[in-house]
Each structure stands twice: as structure tokens, then as C-alpha cells.
Amino acid sequence: MRLEAEGVVKRFGAFQALDGATFSTGGESRVVALLGPSGGGKSTLLRVLGCLLPVDGGVVRVDGVVLPAEEAEARGERRKNGFVFQGYNLFPHLTALENVALPLREVHGFEAGAARERAMELLDRLGLKAHAGKRPAQLSGGQQQRAAIARALAPRPRLLLMDEPTSALDPVMTGEVLEVIRELAEEGQQIVLATHEVSFARRVADWVVFLAAGKVVESAGAEAFFERPESEEARGYLGSLMRWR
């Protein structure tokens, strides 16, 4: 996977969430971690990379292909990706099984039987087979997030984009979800992860993009970034986290 951005700008009214963001990842990167302080632009960049948000300026490429600006074309790109967000975004009136199977039928054109089979396969793999008939309110936070991951993986996405997937979880549930993500990475799933879990990013990421105030301050291989960060902002960020460990 190769991600590239040139002078990317994204505004929300008067607020400039991305301010000329420019970077390029290593061509063989499998897991890219977006790191940086809150409000730095991680979530916005993640959504831009997944074609959920159009840019107001600049160019974004995934594996050399420029992401489209027109909604019709962007919709086609979105269908190639899987998304996992910190709020789970499960349908509260549907079971875990239906939360996974419904998008397969309605968006990806699966027959009902094939959608159900694929959904059960993933729920089983993620330890949720016994909970397939439960609605989100009957599941723990970790179980809900694993159901959300199953839904994102169901269409076999090109990229799995994850926005703070453990932010609402307690330490035990966080460990459950991080283990799932680690296994996916080891199996070769291409992942872009916006996270504050720096220790986890250090274990699984091949490449790090560090953002602050809407700008890409540093873009480097994970080993180099964590061992020898070049920018004062990155050194301060990592140092502050180490002090609280």
C-alpha cells in the first residue's frame, strides 16, 4: 500500500482541519498509523483517505490512483474500503448477524444466503458466534467493536480504516480489540489506523504519519519514527506519553 498527499486542505467553515498536508508512505507499508495530538487532523485525514470527505485543495493518491472529487466516483471508491469508528455505528434494532449481513446484501450485491454465511464466518472468527442473535445493547463494548470490525471486513476491503477503535473501551476490552487488529495485520490486511494507542501502533505499524495543527510534521518508517523522531513536536509527543506510562 502506498498513500500520498500533496498540499491537502480540508475546511469546516472557518476551521482548517488539514492545512496543506503533504506526505508519502513506503510502498510496501501494510499498516499505517496516524498519530498526533487531539485536534491535529488524524480523523479528518483518515476520512479523506477513505473517500468519506472531499478535499478543498490538493491531491490524494492510493497506490498511485488519484482519489476522485465527484461524489458518484467517490462512492465507488468507498465501497472498496471498510470503516471502523469509535462509536461502533451499529444499527441498534438489528442483531449482530444482521448488522454484518445487511450491507453485504444492500450495498455489495450478495445473495441473502451468501451474506448470512459470510457474516457468520466472521462473527465466529471474532469470537461472537454465540452472540450473533443479540442486538448491540445486549453486547459489551468490546463485543460491539468486534461486530463493527466484522461488518467492515465482510466485503473483503482493500483498506481497513479505523478511527480510534479503542477509545471508548476499558483496558480489558481494549486488549481484546487490539488483539483482533494485530491478527488482521499479521494476516496481511492493509490497515490505516488513527490512534492514541502509541504502544500498539509501535507493535503493528510499518509506517507512521504524525500530524499536528492540520499539518503532517513527520512521515517515516515506524522503527525510525519511534527510535529517532526528527521533529521537536514528535519528540515532545512521545516523551509526554512515556512520562505517564
The pLDDT score that the predictor gives to residue 172 is 83
The pLDDT score that the predictor gives to residue 242 is 59
Note whether 58 and 7 are within 8 A (CB).
yes
Nearest to 195 by CA among 151, 235, 163: 163
Put residue 207 in one of left, alpha, beta given phi > 0 → left and psi -120 to 50 → alpha: beta
> 10-residue block means of pLDDT along the chain (245 residues)?
96 96 91 95 96 96 92 90 89 97 95 97 94 96 92 95 86 84 90 92 93 97 95 91 55
The pLDDT score that the predictor gives to residue 243 is 52
The pLDDT score that the predictor gives to residue 5 is 97
Architecture of domain 3-80+158-243: 3-Layer(aba) Sandwich (3.40)
CA distance 185 to 176: 15
What separation in angstroms does the CA of 57 have from each of 27, 48, 69, 92?
Answer: 24, 12, 10, 37
Put residue 126 in one of left, alpha, beta given phi > 0 → left and psi -120 to 50 → alpha: alpha
CA distance 219 to 207: 7
Domain residue ranges of the chain, discontinuous segments joined by +: 3-80+158-243, 92-157
Residues 6+ apart with CB under 8 A from 193: 31, 32, 33, 34, 161, 162, 165, 181, 201, 204, 205
